[in-house]
C-alpha cells in the first residue's frame, strides 16, 4: 500500500480524476512555476525555522538579525525562482508589496513572542511518517512547521501567510494538524499525553489553538482511513481495466487544472467543430448540442405550461362536478384518488404484513440499487442473473 500525504488525499476528494492523472498515470505536469506568494511563504517559514533553531541552542537573535535573515532568504528564494525565467506576477500587488508583507509578518511575530525564553523546541520542519491503523496498512507522511513542548503539552505550530482568513480552509487545516497529532502520539506519546495544535495566521496576527484529544482524533483518523481505502479500491479497479474508476468531479479549481486538455469534462472545449452523420443527416457537433438544449428547454417549458393548464381545468371541473371535459378535437377524463405519504415506515410494514399484502407493496427501487453500485457498495458480479446491465447515458445541459 502507498504512503499518502494530506495534500494527495485533499486532491482526491476534490477530483478523483485529477488524482489519477497526477499520482496514478503520473502525467507530466506543466513545468513548476513559482509565484510571489510562494516565495513569501517559503521565506517566512525559513526565517522562523532559523529563528527557532537558534532559540533551541539558547542563542536569541535580535530583531535586526531576524529581519536581515528575512531579506537574505527572500533574495535567495527570488534568485532560485527566476533563474530560468522571469516571475509571473498576477493581480494588483507589486514585488515591494510582498516584501513589505514579509517584513511585517516577521517583525510582528518576533515582537509577540520575544524573548523566547520558555520555549522548548522539539523539532522544526520535521518530516513525519506514521500509520493510521494498528497493522500499519494505511501509511501517512507530512511536514510539521514546528513542534514545541510547553509544560506538559506538545504544541504543533503551523504558520499561514495567506491574506484570506479562513473559515474557507479551516476544516482542512484542523484535520491536517489533528492527523499530525497522531504522529506525535506514536512518536513521543510515552513522554507527554497532551497535544495542542496552533495555527499562526501571520497576516492577521491571529493564533488559533485547539486541543487534540483522542475524541477529536478518532473521527478524523477514521475519515482519512476510509479515504485511503477508497483510493486503493479505485486504484485496484483502474489497474484491472476500469478506466472510469476515478471519476472527474467538476469543481471551482477546474479552470486552473493542468489536465484540462485531457479531462473528459473539459477537453471538448478546445476542439474545433466537427461534422457527424446520423438519422438527422449531417450536423456539426456544436449545432447538435445547441439544438438538443433548445428541445430540452421547449420540453420543460411545455411541461410547466401543461401543469398550469391542468390546474385551470381541475379547478373548473371540480367547481362543476364534471368527470369529463370536451374540446373541439379531444376530450379529457378526470380520475381522482388520494395520494399518500409514509409517516411511520416500521408501523406500515407491520400493518401490511398483518394484512398479508407486504410483498405486493414492497418494491426494490432500481435507482437506489444503481446508486449502491455507483458508490462501490455493491458489486454487480455478486448478483448473478438478478440484474441486467445496459449502457445508459444522461445528458444535462447548462449555459456556457
Ligand atoms: S478539469 Fe476539473 S474535473 Fe477535470 S481533472 Fe481537472 S479538476 Fe478534475
Best mutation site among 250, 255, 261, 270 for ligand 1, i.e. most ligand atoms within 8 A of its Cβ? 250
Q: Output the CA 258–ligand 1 centroid distance in Å.
A: 8
Q: Are residues 111 and 171 in the same domain?
A: no
Q: Is residue 275 part of a domain?
A: no
Q: Which atom of ligand 1 is nearest to the CA of 16?
A: 8
Q: Which domain holds residue 207?
A: 1-27+124-243
Q: Are residues 100 and 154 in the same domain?
A: no
Residue 242, C-alpha cell as written in the block: 476500469
φ/ψ bin of 116: left (φ > 0), alpha (ψ from -120 to 50), beta (otherwise):
left
Q: How many domains is the chain built from? A: 3
pLDDT recorded at residue 93: 87
Q: Which atom of ligand 1 is nearest to the CA of 253?
A: 7
Q: Are 217 and 177 in contact (CB under 8 A)?
A: no
Express each pLDDT in 107-151 by its tens digit.
999 999 999 988 899 999 989 999 888 888 889 999 999 999 999
Q: Are residues 19 and 143 in the same domain?
A: yes
Q: Are residues 134 and 83 in the same domain?
A: no
Q: Are residues 84 and 183 in the same domain?
A: no
Residue 51, C-alpha cell as written in the block: 529563528
Pairing mode of beta strands 3-5, 139-150: parallel
Q: What global pTM score does this model have? A: 0.76
Q: Which atom of ligand 1 is nearest to the CA of 14?
A: 7
Domain termination residue (choose one: 117, 137, 155): 117
Q: Are residues 218 and 158 in the same domain?
A: yes
| Dist CA 131 CA 185 (whole Å) | 11
Q: Are residues 150 and 219 in the same domain?
A: yes
Q: Is residue 393 part of a domain?
A: no
Q: Are residues 16 and 135 in the same domain?
A: yes
Percentages helix, strand, coil for the chain (3-state, rounded to 5) are 50, 15, 35
| Dist CA 66 CA 293 (whole Å) | 62
pLDDT recorded at residue 351: 92
Q: Are residues 182 and 82 in the same domain?
A: no
Domain termination residue (choose one: 96, 117, 138): 117
Residue 362, C-alpha cell as written in the block: 414492497
Q: Is residue 148 part of a domain?
A: yes
Q: Are 124 and 52 in contact (CB under 8 A)?
A: yes
- Residue numbers of the chain with a pLDDT score lower than 50: none
Cis preceding-peptide flag for 115 (omega within 30 of 0): yes
Q: Which atom of ligand 1 is nearest to the CA of 264?
A: 4
Q: Is residue 357 part of a domain?
A: yes
- Residue ranges around ligand 1 (CB below 6 Å): 15, 17-18, 248-251, 253-254, 257, 259-260, 263, 265-266
Domain termination residue (choose one: 117, 150, 167): 117
Please give the distance of CA 156 from its chain centroid, rounded to a whole number: 24
Q: Output the CA 260–ligand 1 centroid distance in Å.
A: 6
pLDDT recorded at residue 167: 66
Q: Are residues 76 and 141 in the same domain?
A: no
Q: Output the CA 270–ligand 1 centroid distance in Å.
A: 14
Q: Which atom of ligand 1 is nearest to the CA of 258?
A: 6
Q: Are 13 and 235 in contact (CB under 8 A)?
A: no
Q: Is residue 295 part of a domain?
A: no
| Dist CA 99 CA 77 (whole Å) | 12
Q: Are residues 157 and 233 in the same domain?
A: yes
Q: Are residues 154 and 8 in the same domain?
A: yes
Best mutation site among 12, 25, 249 for ligand 1, i.e. most ligand atoms within 8 A of its Cβ? 249
Q: Is residue 394 part of a domain?
A: no
Q: Are 257 and 266 in contact (CB under 8 A)?
A: yes
Q: What are phi and psi of 147, to 5 degrees?
A: -120, 130
Q: Is residue 382 part of a domain?
A: yes
Q: Whose CA is nearest to atom 4 of ligand 1?
A: 263
Q: Is residue 166 part of a domain?
A: yes
Q: Are 66 and 166 in contact (CB under 8 A)?
A: no
Q: Which atom of ligand 1 is nearest to the CA of 21?
A: 5
Amino acid at each position: 500500500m502507498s504512503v499518502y500525504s494530506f495534500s494527495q488525499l485533499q486532491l482526491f476528494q476534490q477530483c478523483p480524476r485529477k488524482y489519477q492523472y497526477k499520482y496514478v498515470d503520473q502525467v507530466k505536469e506543466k513545468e513548476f512555476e513559482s509565484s510571489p506568494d510562494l516565495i513569501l511563504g517559503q521565506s517566512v517559514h525559513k526565517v522562523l525555522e532559523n529563528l527557532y533553531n537558534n532559540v533551541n541552542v539558547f542563542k536569541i537573535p535580535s530583531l535586526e538579525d531576524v529581519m536581515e535573515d528575512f531579506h537574505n532568504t527572500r533574495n535567495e528564494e527570488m534568485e532560485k525562482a527566476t533563474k530560468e525565467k522571469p516571475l509571473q506576477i498576477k493581480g494588483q500587488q507589486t514585488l515591494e508589496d510582498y516584501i513589505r508583507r514579509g517584513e511585517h509578518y516577521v517583525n510582528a511575530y518576533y515582537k509577540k513572542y520575544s524573548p523566547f525564553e520558555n520555549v522548548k523546541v522539539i523539532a522544526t520542519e520535521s518530516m513525519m511518517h506514521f500509520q493510521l491503523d494498528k497493522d500499519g496498512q494505511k501509511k501517512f507522511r507530512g511536514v510539521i512547521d514546528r513542534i514545541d513542548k510547553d509544560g506538559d503539552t506538545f504544541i504543533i505550530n503551523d504558520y499561514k501567510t495567506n491574506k484570506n482568513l479562513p473559515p474557507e480552509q479551516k476544516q482542512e487545516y484542523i484535520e491536517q494538524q489533528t492527523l499530525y497529532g497522531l504522529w506525535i502520539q506514536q512518536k513521543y506519546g510515552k513522554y507527554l499525553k497532551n497535544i495542542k495544535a496552533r495555527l499562526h495566521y501571520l497576516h492577521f496576527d491571529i493564533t488559533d489553538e485547539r486541543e487534540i484529544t483522542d475524541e477529536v482524533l478518532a473521527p478524523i483518523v477514521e475519515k482519512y482511513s476510509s479515504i485511503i481505502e477508497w483510493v486503493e479500491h479505485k486504484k485496484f479497479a483502474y489497474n484491472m481495466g476500469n478506466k472510469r474508476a476515478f471519476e472527474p468531479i467538476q469543481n471551482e479549481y477546474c479552470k486552473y487544472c493542468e489536465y484540462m486538455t485531457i479531462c473528459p469534462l473539459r477537453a471538448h472545449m478546445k476542439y474545433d467543430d466537427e461534422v457527424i452523420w446520423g438519422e438527422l443527416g449531417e450536423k456539426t457537433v456544436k449545432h447538435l448540442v445547441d439544438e438538443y438544449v433548445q428541445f430540452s428547454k421547449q420540453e420543460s417549458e411545455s411541461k410547466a405550461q401543461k401543469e398550469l393548464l391542468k390546474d385551470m381545468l381541475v379547478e373548473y371541473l371540480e367547481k362543476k362536478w364534471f368527470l369529463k371535459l370536451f374540446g373541439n378535437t379531444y376530450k379529457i377524463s378526470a380520475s381522482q384518488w388520494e395520494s399518500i405519504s409514509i409517516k411511520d415506515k416500521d408501523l406500515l410494514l407491520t400493518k401490511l404484513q398483518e394484512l398479508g399484502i407486504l410483498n405486493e407493496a414492497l418494491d426494490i427501487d432500481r435507482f437506489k440499487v444503481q446508486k449502491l453500485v455507483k458508490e462501490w457498495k455493491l458489486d454487480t458480479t455478486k448478483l448473478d442473473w438478478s440484474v441486467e446491465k445496459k449502457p445508459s447515458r444522461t445528458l444535462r445541459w447548462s449555459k456556457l
